[in-house]
Each structure stands twice: as structure tokens, then as C-alpha cells.
């Protein structure tokens, strides 16, 4: 599964192309999506209207993707990342007239700080794996194959940093 590519339709009907092959990653993505873990738990943000979803969002003008990963994780969960790595990328085809590229990252949170005021989330939730995102309370944004295929990918490679995967049991 390490060089796999997938194509499918999201819940709205957009074509999605997903890859875990780093030779295909764009240097200029539009957004980031973060599979953040704290100890053995997947960290999901509690969006005020959509429900549970992964931290992520737009890369600001002049911002590098890694900066967006740290910023979005902190803004949406209060989580402070100490290890991150890009693991995938997906393209939403013909999104509002153009393709939208989203880079997928795996990261480890070492601690949580207070959430900044005025953002769209109500904190975070720690979830044991496996996660069934089809249940009530989950955002439509995690009910497509990007979420499940990325978790399967992480499990298939027994992902860890520097050969150590003891911190995340998938």
C-alpha cells in the first residue's frame, strides 16, 4: 500500500485523487490536513457546527505548509506538535472551478495549551483507534475515503519516527 493511488468521489460528488507516494506530492498545496496523535490517541477537533474532524485548513499567503500544520493544529486543538511528516496528498478535482491540493501530515502532540479565543472549534477529543467516522457526531469532512485510507496506510507501515512506533498503536 505504500505507493498506492486511489480515486473516488467525495460525499458531494467531487472526484478525489489520493496518493501516499511522496514522488507525487506538490510543492505548492492549498491546504493541510493533520492526523495528530497524543500518546495512543487520535486527536480530533470539535468544530462548532460540523462535529468531530481533523485539524487542518488553508495555507495562508506567504506561509509554508509546515507552518500551516503547526498553526492549524494549535488553533483548532491547542496541541503543540513536536514531530511531523508529510505522508500523503489528495486533490479535489474541479473544486469551484479548479483543482484543490491538500497535503496530509502525521504528527505527534506533546502537550496542549489553551485554545485561542474566537476560533471555530470547541477544543478537542482524544479517540482510541480504530475510529468509525460514520457515527453521529463526526463531520462530513471525515466521512469519505481519505480518512479511512490514511488510517489504513498508517497501520500498514506501522508508522513511527526513527523506526519507533511504540507511541501510536494503530
pLDDT at 161: 39
Q: Is 165 inside any structural domain? A: no
Q: Is 135 inside any structural domain? A: no
Note the pLDDT tens digit of each residue in 68-91: 999 999 999 999 999 999 999 999
For residue 76, give its domain range: 5-38+56-120+145-156
Q: Is 168 inside any structural domain? A: no
Domain count for the chain: 1
**Distances, alpha carbon 22 to alpha carbons 49, 90, 160, in Å:** 34, 12, 17
Q: Is 162 inside any structural domain? A: no
CA end-to-end span of the chain? 15
> Which of 16 and 2 is assigned the larger pLDDT?
16
Residue 115's CATH number: 3.90.79.10
Strands (DSSP E) contained in the chain are 5-9, 15-19, 31-38, 41-47, 51-53, 56-58, 79-95, 98-112, 121-127
Q: Is 166 inside any structural domain? A: no
Structure pTM? Answer: 0.89
Note the pLDDT tens digit of each residue in 30-70: 999 999 999 989 999 999 899 999 999 999 999 999 999 99
Q: Is 129 inside any structural domain? A: no
Strands (DSSP E) contained in 23-97 are 31-38, 41-47, 51-53, 56-58, 79-95
Amino acid at each position: 500500500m505504500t505507493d498506492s493511488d486511489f480515486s473516488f468521489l467525495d460525499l458531494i460528488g467531487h472526484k478525489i485523487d489520493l496518493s501516499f507516494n511522496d514522488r507525487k506530492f506538490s510543492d505548492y498545496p492549498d491546504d493541510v490536513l493533520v492526523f495528530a496523535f497524543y500518546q495512543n490517541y487520535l486527536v480530533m477537533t470539535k468544530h462548532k457546527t460540523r462535529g468531530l474532524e481533523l485539524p487542518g485548513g488553508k495555507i495562508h499567503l506567504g506561509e509554508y505548509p509546515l507552518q500551516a500544520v503547526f498553526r492549524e493544529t494549535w488553533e483548532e486543538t491547542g496541541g503543540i506538535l513536536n514531530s511531523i511528516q508529510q505522508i500523503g496528498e489528495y486533490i479535489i478535482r474541479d473544486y469551484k472551478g479548479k483543482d484543490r491540493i491538500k497535503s496530509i501530515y502525521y504528527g505527534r502532540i506533546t502537550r496542549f495549551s489553551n485554545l485561542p479565543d474566537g476560533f471555530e472549534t470547541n477544543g478537542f477529543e482524544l479517540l482510541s483507534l480504530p475510529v468509525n467516522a460514520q457515527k453521529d457526531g463526526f463531520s462530513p469532512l471525515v466521512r469519505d475515503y481519505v480518512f479511512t485510507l490514511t488510517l489504513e496506510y498508517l497501520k500498514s507501515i506501522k508508522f513511527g519516527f526513527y523506526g519507533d512506533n511504540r507511541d501510536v498503536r494503530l
